[in-house]
Amino acid sequence: MRSSHQPLCTRAHQAAALLLVAATFFLTRLLDRSPLSAPPPPCAAPYSPWPHRDLRIYVYAEDEVDGLRALLRGRNDDVTAATCIKGQWGTQVKIHQLLLSSRFRTFDKDEADLFFVPTYVKCVRMTGKLNDKEINQTYVKVVLSQMPYFRRSGGRDHIFVFPSGAGAHLFRSWATFLNRSIILTPEGDRTDKRGISAFNTWKDIIIPGNVDDSMVKSDRLAVKPIPLTKRKYLANFLGRAQGKVGRLQLVKLAKQYPDKLESPELKLSGPDKLGRIDYFKHLRNAKFCLAPRGESSWTLRFYESFFVECVPVILSDEVELPFQNVIDYTEVSIKWPASKIGPGLLEYLESIPDGRVEEMIGRGREIRCLWVYAADTERCSAMSAIMWELQRKVRRFHQSAETFWLHNRSIVNRDLVEFHEWRTPVPLP
C-alpha cells in the first residue's frame, strides 16, 4: 500500500537547493567584483574595474617637519621643483604636485588613511646638493624621528617615492626604517647589485617612468608615429651600451644585420649626441623597440615605445611592470629571454604578421594613458591608477612596537602618554 506521506526532500527539492546555492555564489561574486559605489575603471575596456573604497591622503608640508625641506631643496635650499621635474626623476615631483590638488587629499591627519612624505631625494643627490651620508642622516635623525603618525603605525600607512633604478636604496637605511612603508618606484629588483630587493609585491607599487612631456599630449605630439609599411627597420635599440652584456650583444647584432636592426652607439655629449626630438624620430622608425636592462631591470624605453607606436620587446628577465591587475601585457608587448639575444630574436620578430603587430599597437594605444602623469580626476592616467592601487594597499592595523592601547581604546606610547600628547622630536628606540 502506498504511503500517504511524501518524502521531506525529493530530488526536485535537492536540485532547487543546488540551483539556489549556485545562484547565491555567482551573485555574491558579481557584487564583489562590481561594488555599487565603484567609479568607472581608470582605463577602457577590455580591462576590469579595480577595487574601490573611500581614500584620504595627508600630504606633509615641506616646512612641517624639520629637515624635510632639505630632502626637497638641498642643504642650501637652492634646488627647484622645475629642475627636478625633468627626465627619469620627474615622477617624484609630479606625484607630489598632483597630490596637492587631488580629490583624495585631506588636511586632517586623524581622518587620513595614508600619509605622503614628499622628497626629491634623487634629484638633490644627482645635483650634488646632498650626499649619501646627509640623505641618510636627514631621513633618520631629522624626519622620521619627528613624525608621531609614522611612529604610531611603524610607517605602514606612509608613502615614499623613489623614482629611479636605485629605488629605495637611495636611503641606505631603508631596510631598517621603511621596511613596512608603501614605496612607489619604477624598479622591482636590485638583488644583483644590493643583495636585497626594496620592492615588496604586498605593499609597494610599481609606477611608470616619466616619459618626456612633449610625447604624451595626444593632440600635440612632438613626434608622430608613421605607418608600419614606411618604417625602415624591423627593430631598434637606442641607448648606451653601459658595458652591459645584453646591450653589447644588440650593438654587435646591429652590425651583423644593419638593414634589420638599428643600434647606434649613442653619445652623452658632443656634436654626435642625439637630441630628444631626433631620438623619438629614430625610435618610431621600427616595428619593434627593444628594451634591454641597463644598470637595473627597468627601462624608460619600454614606456616611450607606446607613444611612437612600436611594439616593446622586453629583454630584462627581472623587470616588474605597473598595474598588472588590469593590464594584460601579453596583448601589448613581447618578453624575450635576455640569454637568447641573437639572430634567433630577429628571425622570430620577422615571423610575426603585420596584422598582429598592428593589433598589439592598437591595444597599446588604449592603455598608454596609464603612463601619463595627469590629475587623478582623469578617467585614465598614471595618477588615477596609482590611487586605485593605493586603495588596495590601505591596511587598518596601525599598531607598531611604539603603540599600545588601554581599556578605553586610547592609544598610548610606552610611557603611557596618549597619542595626541606625543611631542616631537620622538626619540628613536
DSSP conformation letters of 356-372 = HHHHHHHHHHHHGGGGS
Report CA-CA distances (Å) from 120 to 210, 377, 390: 14, 24, 20
Domain for residue 128, yes or no? yes
Domain for residue 359, yes or no? yes
For the entire predicted model, the pTM comes to 0.85
Of 177, 210, 243, the last residue of a domain is 210
Identify whether residues 191 and 281 lie together within a single domain. Answer: no
pLDDT digits (tens, 9 = 90+) for 140-168: 988 998 899 999 999 999 999 998 888 88
* Degrees to nearest 5, angle at CA 254 with 279 and 293: 65
Q: Are 429 and 401 in contact (CB under 8 A)?
A: yes
Of 371, 393, 416, the last residue of a domain is 371
CATH number of the domain that residue 308 is part of = 3.40.50.2000
Whether residue 14 has pLDDT greater than 60: no
Alpha carbons 201 and 249: distance in angstroms, whole number: 31
Domain for residue 157, yes or no? yes
Identify whether residues 121 and 135 lie together within a single domain. Answer: yes
Identify whether residues 219 and 366 lie together within a single domain. Answer: yes
Q: List the domain range (segments joined by +) for residue 337.
A: 213-371
Identify whether residues 157 and 233 lie together within a single domain. Answer: no
Identify whether residues 291 and 272 lie together within a single domain. Answer: yes
Predicted confidence at residue 80, as pLDDT, reads 93
Domain for residue 23, yes or no? no
Domain for residue 31, yes or no? no
Express as a percent the part of the chain with pLDDT over 90.
Answer: 61
Domain for residue 388, yes or no? no
User: How many domains in the chain?
Assistant: 2
Identify whether residues 220 and 185 lie together within a single domain. Answer: no
Helices (H) and strands (E) in the chain — how many of each? Answer: 15, 13
Whether residue 103 has pLDDT greater than 80: yes
Domain for residue 14, yes or no? no
Of 210, 244, 276, the last residue of a domain is 210
Identify whether residues 255 and 345 lie together within a single domain. Answer: yes
Domain for residue 327, yes or no? yes
Identify whether residues 267 and 175 lie together within a single domain. Answer: no
pLDDT digits (tens, 9 = 90+) for 243-256: 889 999 999 999 99
162 or 271, higher pLDDT? 162
* Count, residues in the chain: 429
Predicted confidence at residue 191, as pLDDT, reads 61
| pLDDT class of 363 with cuts at 50, 70, 90 | very high
pLDDT digits (tens, 9 = 90+) for 338-352: 999 999 999 999 999
Identify whether residues 131 and 231 lie together within a single domain. Answer: no
Question: What average pLDDT does the chain have?
Answer: 85
Identify whether residues 200 and 217 lie together within a single domain. Answer: no
CA 359 to centroid of chain Cα atoms: 25
Identify whether residues 173 and 249 lie together within a single domain. Answer: no
Average pLDDT (303-312) is 97
Express as a percent the part of the chain with pLDDT over 70.
Answer: 83
Identify whether residues 253 and 326 lie together within a single domain. Answer: yes
| pLDDT class of 190 with cuts at 50, 70, 90 | low
